[in-house]
Structure 1
Amino acid sequence: MHLVSHASRRLAAFASCLAIAGAVHAAAPMAKISAPGFYRIMVGDIEVTAISDGTVQLPVDKLLQEPAADTKRALAQSFLSTPVDTSVTAYVVNTGAKLVMIDAGAGKLFGPTLGKVAANLKAAGYQPEQVDEIYITHLHPDHVGGLAPGGTPAFPNAVVRADRRDTEFWLSQANLDKAPADNKPFFQGAMGSLQPYASAQRLRTFDGDNELVPGVRASSSYGHTPGHTTYVVESKGQKLLLVGDLIHVGAVQFAKPGVTIAFDTDQKAAAAARRATFTQAAKKGDMIGASHLPFPGLGHLRSAGQGFQWVPLNYAELP
């Protein structure tokens, strides 16, 4: 009897230890935080860092200008469903002489899941004070909201540059007054984000194609907005096209580049700009960086029938 009792106590103690171990394991919290959102590549002698602003869910079946059933079918082929988690990405270009940022993220203008550019910029090793110039692809809120999220310039030493056609359109009080109610926030967001820089004489516009600093030039890709601009980074025969919002939904628009989105100001011109830019990139083998393709949004294009095939950049860490 004594032996049985002793064995029972040992089994009970063992079971208790298992329970405690199991409880400790189960109590480990889920981190639910990814690694800092930046990714760095070289384009010749120029260093380019993709900076994640976060992701936002978009009901693309309601936004793309094609039957919703077609959109859902294409998404399913890429193992996606709507709403689609959509990246918002800025790019930092270090030429060695200038630190240039392409777009600034959404700040507080596009929902609580975005607004991470400043934190990820610091994680990437840069301080906002080090940014010399900021080139805006277009003045939609998810590209300018990070400029001055509290009404004060987030990049205190930076000059902001954009195509004059975009500033004249989005910073116009007359255009704001006549805009439909659901479009007014686009104008208000642009005005609130750019005004602190304009007041400090640090908003400068350009007209069409221009070299802005050695190694970085503006290339007109009008349509998504009146002054939508692609920025071309070039060094030692290598080229990267930072195409902004020429594409939003790769699962649909690569195969069918004629499909536009509700955000396009001029649907026909937006589709034409996408096709022209992508055709040249596929022909020449130039790298693409797109604001809304899955982070870091970098890759190459191949022509495929009436559309294109996207080849994401192979992951590699710089030495």
Structure 2
Amino acid sequence: MTRTAVKRLYLMQVGSMPHYQIPIVCYLVQTNDGRNILIDSGLPEVIPEEGAEFENGQDVIRQLASIGLAPDDIDTVISTHYDFDHAGRHAAFTRATYVVQRVHQLDAASNPRFAATRPQWDQPAERLRLVDGDTELLPGLTLIETSGHVPGHQSVLVQLPSTGAVLLPIDAVPFAEGFTRDAQDDGSQPDAEAIRASTVKLLDLVEREQIGLVIFGHDGAQWEGLNKLPEFYG
């Protein structure tokens, strides 16, 4: 069995795009030594004008409270990327270290795409941990650099004691139908080549590590059948 410091993975739906039946989600990892690691933080309290199709649900703070956790109990926030539906509540976790790909942090500083939630993700330098490429944060929790959706996007691989390996592609592959080597470029993605490269990288990882569960971050059909907080994967 792969060594792991991780004991639980919680899934939280914090909002949606109702018209498309797309969930907006984030995740909580708990370790054997009592650390709480949040992966993304969901939508902001006030959704920006460009997000009119999004709708808030039970936010991450309320969901954490339902299992006895306050924002100050979060030790680390893994920022997969700074889109407003993934980084909208970052500023609530004032004692956390924020882990982000260096490439993404540098891009976000001047990219208007991330301006709406800049007050959330623009944290003091001493609270940022900038990583470069694939990085093992701790045994059983690895960041996978998967640029394409945005520069410096990162996916997350979690090794659980009973469930085994769980891959969270986040927005590198948001829907199960796109997890294929034969995905066609429909012209809608400005960096389709990088998206394809990241998809193939994750497919290779699944085959190499024999990963049994891939949770696609915005796949409503899959999400319906998954364990959501207060249930968990262990």
TM-score of the two chains, using structure 2 as the length reference? 0.79
Q: Hey, what does 1:156 align to over in structure 2?
A: 94
Task: Determine if contact 1:51/1:296 at 8 Å carries over to the other structure.
Answer: no
- What are the residue-to-residue correspondences of 1:170-319 with 2, within 5 Å? 170-172=108-110, 176=111, 184=112, 186-195=113-122, 197-198=123-124, 201-236=126-161, 238-250=164-176, 252-254=177-179, 257-259=183-185, 262=188, 264=189, 266-281=191-206, 284-294=210-220, 297=223
Residue 51 in 1 paired to residue 51 in 2?
no
Q: Hey, what does 1:3 align to over in structure 2?
A: none
Residue 96 in 1 paired to residue 23 in 2?
no
* Cα gap change, 1:87 to 1:260, in 2 (>3 Å): farther
Aligned CA RMSD, in angstroms, stands at 3.1
* Cα gap change, 1:314 to 1:88, in 2 (>3 Å): closer
TM-score of the two chains, using structure 1 as the length reference? 0.60
Unaligned runs of 5+ in 2: none
Alpha-carbon separation, structure 1, partners of 2:187 and 2:36: 32
* 1:51 CA drift (Å): 1.2
Give the AA of the match of 1:117: V
Task: Determine if contact 1:56/1:113 at 8 Å carries over to the other structure.
Answer: yes
* Cα gap change, 1:314 to 1:198, in 2 (>3 Å): closer
Identity %: 23
Give CA deviations for 1:38-62 in whole Å, capped at 9, x if unaligned. xxxxx995101001111114xxxxx
Aligned-partner SS, 1:278: helix
Give CA deviations for 1:283-308 in whole Å, capped at 9, x if unaligned. 6133222221228749xxxxxxxxxx
* Cα gap change, 1:285 to 1:261, in 2 (>3 Å): farther
* 1:279 CA drift (Å): 4.6
* 1:99 CA drift (Å): 0.7
Give CA deviations for 1:160-215 in whole Å, capped at 9, x if unaligned. 1100011100112xxx4xxxxxxx3x2313422222x226x312211111122332
- What are the residue-to-residue correspondences of 1:74-153 with 2, within 5 Å? 83-97=19-33, 98-107=35-44, 108-109=46-47, 110-111=51-52, 113-114=55-56, 116-147=59-90, 153=91
